Amino acid sequence: MPVNLTPPDPASLLPVAGVLLGIASAGIKKPGRRDITLIELAAGSRVAGVFTQNRFCAAPVTLCRQHLTQGTIRALVINTGNANAGTGEEGLRRARQTCEVVAGIMGCATEQVLPFSTGVILEPLPVDKILPALPAAYADLAPNHWSEAAHAIMTTDIVAKGASRQAQVSGKTVTVTGIAKGSGMIHPNMATMLGFVATDAAIAASLMPQLVKDVADVSFNCVTVDGDTSTNDSFILIATGQAGNAEIGDAASADYAALKATLSEVAIELAQAMARDGEGATKFITVQIEGGRDHDECKQIAYAIARSPLVKTAFFASDPNLGRILAAIGYAGVSDLDVNTLQVYLGGVLVAEKGGRAASYTEAQGAAVMQETDITVRVVLNRGKVNATVWTCDFSYDYVKINAEYRT
């Protein structure tokens, strides 16, 4: 079951002026399953995205990259149940066909539609099911369908993921609402999953590419479930400009900082929800690396710990076999790391220092922390001033079961 995670109250997901969402059933994997989401954006909306670095990227990722360079975006269309990845030219043709039908329904250009898919890889996109469902999704468009959309984009997720915040920008209240899906095949090489965050703030188009990257780097690029980077990872940031604030045009301004902080809060909540809903998860684990020389080495060590099957299975068993954490630190690839100068903490308990077990540490202390469902591993490198944080979960028996039976 998800770790200390409940679905958001639908009423808590605030409408964003200039965004309408519609849901429909195409029955891609299961009859009656609501698996199509259509999002309509107001004219003039600014859209930017970051995508998977997996070389076997899905057809919709390829089209999204192309369409984002060709003009303003008016619609997003998302299907679950099929990833349309590993499908070659035919996959591109089918993704483009979906965009064409959406464009026809909405009265916009094909290039103004962004497609997204999630599900099984190496299977053809079932456009024979998807295309007939699109008019129903269009008819369902409404500003308050964020919760329905959060459910519709789920695959192996148990809990729908959504979050909202508001902030003051230029004396105006701006709203930020986002949804995401992901619980397996989660490891960043961009962002890890499908994520859509919208705001009604007005911001210059020139600032959007850096803003979406910065938000991803403090949120979706800080979570791992199993070390597998998906073929379909996409994180999209939308700014409709409907809040009435003076357009933000300076990345050094207080308004930019306020908007970025609010967007980041929403994205962090969604990213952490993925680890809490990791396939079969029973523990939510925060890995904090402190006192590093640079961000890269901090992340290297954090991910070595967070994606180690031996570390993750020890957490599942509540077994303080903490030498596994030391081993992960040692093989992380920081060649000049002096293990004699660092400290390792489990929760608030000092476990290791001076290259070995801390004199004050007892097995009972470690066992007590390992019984908790939210656990922090803290490594103090004592070689600089840079810190990094990664969120992950344990590996349980259910992780193997879920993925062994994924297609059944």
Specify which residues 164 forms β-bridges with. Answer: 177
Q: How is 9-51 classified by DSSP, letter by letter? A: PGGGS---TTEEEEEEE--SSSTT-EEEEEEEE-TT-EEEEEE
Query: What would the pLDDT profile of 213-223 be if each residue is shown by its tens digit?
Result: 999 999 988 88
pLDDT of 224 strictly over 90: no
Runs of H (alpha helix) within 199-345: 208-217, 254-276, 295-306, 309-316, 323-330
pLDDT, position 408: 57
Percentage of the chain modeled with pLDDT above 70: 93
Angle at 293 (CA atoms; ends 283, 49), nearest 5 degrees: 60
Q: Name the more confident of 377 and 221.
A: 377
Measured between its terminal Cα atoms, the distance across the chain in Å is 20
Domain definitions of the chain by residue range: 10-276, 284-404
Q: Is-catalytic flag, 69?
A: no
Determine which helix (DSSP H) or strand (DSSP E) holds 179, and give its type and residue range: strand 172-181
Distance CA 4, CA 278 (A): 12
Indicate whether 193 pLDDT > 80: no
Q: Considering the candidates 98, 192, 286, 392, report the single residue annotated as catalytic.
A: 192
- Coil, strand or helix at 46: strand
CB 253 within 8 A of CB 343: no
- Architecture of the domain whose range is 10-276: 4-Layer Sandwich (3.60)
- The whole-number pLDDT of residue 375 equals 97
How far is residue 344's CA from residue 301's CA, in Å, rounded to a whole number?
Answer: 12
**Under CATH, which number does the domain 284-404 receive?**
3.10.20.340
According to the model, what pLDDT value does residue 403 have?
62
- List the one residue out of 35, 93, 29 whose CA is nearest residue 59: 93
Is 190 a residue whose pLDDT tops 70?
A: no
Q: Is the pLDDT of residue 184 over 80?
A: no
Structure tokens at 16: 């964003």
Indicate the average pLDDT of the chain. Answer: 92
- Say how many C-beta atoms besides its own lie within 10 A of residue 383's C-beta: 17
Label residue 191 by pLDDT band (50, 70, 90).
Answer: very low
pLDDT of residue 57: 83
Whether 192 has a pLDDT exceeding 60, the answer reads no
Asked if residue 226 has pLDDT above 80, the reply is no
What is the C-alpha to C-alpha distance for residues 387 and 381, in angstroms, rounded to an integer? Answer: 10
Q: Which of 87-96, 176-185, 345-354 has the lowest mean pLDDT?
A: 176-185
pLDDT in tens, 276-313: 887 778 999 999 999 999 999 999 999 999 989 999 99
Residue 232 is predicted with a pLDDT of 65
C-alpha atoms less than 13 angstroms from C-alpha of 367 in its C-beta half-sphere: 3
Least trusted range by pLDDT, from 61-70, 132-141, 144-153, 221-230: 221-230
pLDDT band at 183 (very low <50, low <70, confident <90, very high): low
pLDDT at residue 228 is higher than 60: no
Comparison of pLDDT for 228 and 152, the residue scoring more: 152
* pLDDT class of 231 with cuts at 50, 70, 90: low
pTM over 0.85: yes
The amino acid at 304:
A
Q: What is the pLDDT of residue 59?
A: 94
Residue % of the chain over a pLDDT of 90: 78
In the predicted model, what is the mean pLDDT of residues 200-205? 98
Confidence band, pLDDT 50/70/90 cuts, at residue 73: very high
Query: Among 371, 370, 369, 349, which Cα is nearest to 361's?
Result: 349
Q: Three-state DSSP class for 77?
A: strand
* pLDDT band of 188, cuts 50, 70, 90: low
- Taking only the tens place, the pLDDT of each residue in 25-64 is 999 988 989 999 999 999 999 999 998 877 778 999 999 9
Of 92 and 402, the structure prediction assigns the larger pLDDT to: 92
Distances 405 to 370, 398, 402 between C-alpha atoms, Å = 29, 10, 5
Question: Can you give the pLDDT at residue 174?
Answer: 98
